[in-house]
Amino acid sequence: VGARRYVETLEDVMVETCAGFGIDATGRVPGMTGTWVGDKKIGAVGVQIAGGVTTHGLAFNVRPDLEYFKHIVPCGLRGKRPTSLAKEMERKRLLCLKPNTEEAVAGITAGRAEVEAKLVTAFMQRFGYDDVSMHRE
């Protein structure tokens, strides 16, 4: 797998994770890495390849305080705003309010463990792993 394909596959992992929560996201935006919900960035990819070995990471915005992003230019992309899974799910919840009430459609929430499980499952499927171990320090 080449470097570009590797980055795109990490983007796909985040796209699939978003889809698992009913959020329509995309990767492979020309000139910009990461995962996007409309014109808002929900996930970033960082990859180092040296001697045929990858050190990688992805940042998937689950529930960060987006106020901090007002003081920086995220990923050097002027005019682009970040978003989060929580923010997009809240937007979706508001769109799914039952007519003439403030009662939301049930089931539009996500806990950290559920997000991690969907992310790891998507990673395993995309990269062809049968099992992975998660270690917390």
Q: Which positions are catalytic? A: 75
Query: In the 8-state DSSP scheme, what is residue 26?
Result: B
Strands 81-82 and 40-50 turn out to be parallel
3-state secondary structure of 46: strand
What's the rounded Cα separation, in Å, for the pair 17 and 124?
A: 12
With contact defined as beta carbons under 8 Å apart, do 43 and 64 qualify?
Answer: no
Instruction: Name the residue with tokens 């987006």.
Output: 66
With contact defined as beta carbons under 8 Å apart, do 62 and 86 qualify?
Answer: yes
**Token reading at 25:** 């996201």
